[in-house]
Structure 1
Amino acid sequence: MTTNILFLSTPKRWAEYEPPLTHALAATGLDFRLAEELPAAEVDYIVYAPGGATDHDFTQFPRLKAVLSLWAGIETVIENPTLTAPLARMVDHGLTQGMVEWVTGHVLRHHLGMDAHILGQNGIWEPIAPPLARDRRVTILGLGTLGTACGRALASLGFPVSGWSRNPKTVEGITCLSGPDGLKQALSTADILVLLLPDTPATRDLLNAQTIAQLPQGSVVLNPGRGTLIEDAALLAALDSGQIAHATLDAFRIEPLPADDPYWAHPKVTVTPHIASETRATTASEVIAENVRRGEAGEPLLHLVDRALGY
Structure 2
Amino acid sequence: MLLQISSIVTYAKNVTVDYIDLDFTLWLTWMLTPLIITFLLPLIIVLLLYLSVLILYIYKLHRHRLRHAYETDFWDGARKTVAAVWDAHGWIWHGYEVSGMENIPDDTPALIVYYHGAIPIDLYYFISKSILFKNRLIHTVADRFLFKIPGWLIISEAMKVIPGTVQICSNILKQNNLLAISPGGVYEAQFGDAYYRLMWKKRLGFAKVALDAKVPVIPIFTQNLREAFCSVSFGRRLWLKLYTITRFPIVPIYGGFPVKLRTHVGKPIPYNGSLTPEQLQIKVAQALEELIEEHQRIPGSIMRALVERVYALPKKKSK
What's the TM-score, normalizing by structure 1? 0.34
User: Which structure has the highest strand share of the two?
Assistant: 1
What's the TM-score, normalizing by structure 2? 0.33
Over alpha carbons, which structure has the higher Rg?
2
Greater relative contact order, per chain length (Cα 8 Å cut-off, separation 6+): 2
User: Which structure has the highest helix share of the two?
Assistant: 2
